[in-house]
Each structure stands twice: as C-alpha cells, then as structure tokens.
Amino acid sequence: MRKTYRILAGIIAFLVVVQAAVMVWAIAGLFTWIDEGATLDKSVIEGWETEPPTFDGSLGHFLHVIIGGAGGVGLIPLIGLLLLIVSFFAKVPRGVALAAAIAVSIAVQILAGMFAEPGMPYLGLVHGVNAFILFGLALYAAKSAKEAAVAPPETQPAAM
C-alpha cells in the first residue's frame, strides 16, 4: 500500500506540472491568435464549450479543465480521493494528514479556479500559489512513503 500511496502522490505532483504547462500553452496560443487578428470577446467565451476557438493551444484550456476538474470532476480530484482512501492503509508516517492536506489543497484549487472568473480575478493569485503548495505537498507525501518503505523496522528493547 505504501507503493500505491507513493505512486498516487507522485501522479498528483506530475499532473500539477502538466496543468501549468497546458495553461501556458493555451494562453500563448490565445495571444498569437489575437495577434493574427482574431478577437476574444464575450461571444467567444460564451460559446467556448459548444464552438471552441481553433487556435494552436486551445486544447490546453480543455486539458486544464479535464485534469484539474472544474466542478470537482477531474483526474487530480479523483486521484486525491484515492490517495486519501489509501492513506488509511498505507502506514506512511503522517500519511493520512498529508493526504488530507492534499485533499484540502485540491478543494482550494478547484474553488479558486471556479470563482476567479465571475468577478473575483484576485482568486487567480490564490489558484497560482496554491498550485505550488499542492505540488510540494504531493512531492513530500511521495517522499515520505518512499522513506517509510526503506526505513529499518523499529526494534523493541529486550525485556529484563
């Protein structure tokens, strides 16, 4: 179970990196699209789900949503939930607490991303900073599981 815990935590850290990469790809593509004469206006935003723009990188926005789980359904929230369940059986030192902290960080990430759009853009700052927190927690959890797996078993002093 420790190995499963370590792998799940590592996947979360990896997916946070992917999230950042695909979002930068999307924004760079959007700026290029605008530089080439296209216009980003309310009609484009409102029609994004049914008729997304076709600029290079537009797939990045879609991947960001699928991986991160706007509305709570996505790869990172699913893996975070699995990590929390596995943490109860993995016997990783502070493993349950780390998995719970990761779950809270995922919830903050989803909420900050969702509410940053409708008039609270400053939550984008929380979303960005919390991504680093989530990444760090996931790496620390994976490292803790690896160290627990290689640590020698504790010995009891001999009874007299």
Tokens 């369940």 — which residue? 85
pTM for this model (two decimals): 0.85
Range of the domain at 6: 2-148
**Could you tell me if residue 68 is inside a domain?**
yes
Report the C-alpha gap between 1 and 7 in whole angstroms.
Answer: 10
**Could you tell me if residue 157 is inside a domain?**
no
**Could you tell me if residue 160 is inside a domain?**
no
Helix pair angle (75-87, 2-35), 10° resolution: 160
Report the C-alpha gap between 26 and 76 in whole angstroms.
Answer: 19
Q: What is the mean pLDDT of the chain?
A: 89
pLDDT for the residue 126: 95
HSE-up of residue 110 (Cα within 13 Å, Cβ side): 19
Asked if the model's pLDDT at residue 67 lies above 90, the reply is: yes
pLDDT tens for residues 111-142? Answer: 998 888 778 889 999 999 999 999 999 999 99
Asked if the model's pLDDT at residue 41 lies above 90, the reply is: no
Question: Do residues 62 and 23 make contact, with C-beta atoms less than 8 angstroms apart?
Answer: no
Q: How many domains does the chain have?
A: 1
**Could you tell me if residue 153 is inside a domain?**
no
Question: Do residues 90 and 145 make contact, with C-beta atoms less than 8 angstroms apart?
Answer: yes
| Local structure of 154: helix, strand or coil | coil
**Could you tell me if residue 154 is inside a domain?**
no
**DSSP symbols for 104-133:** HHHHHHHHHHHHHSSS-TTHHHHHHHHHHH
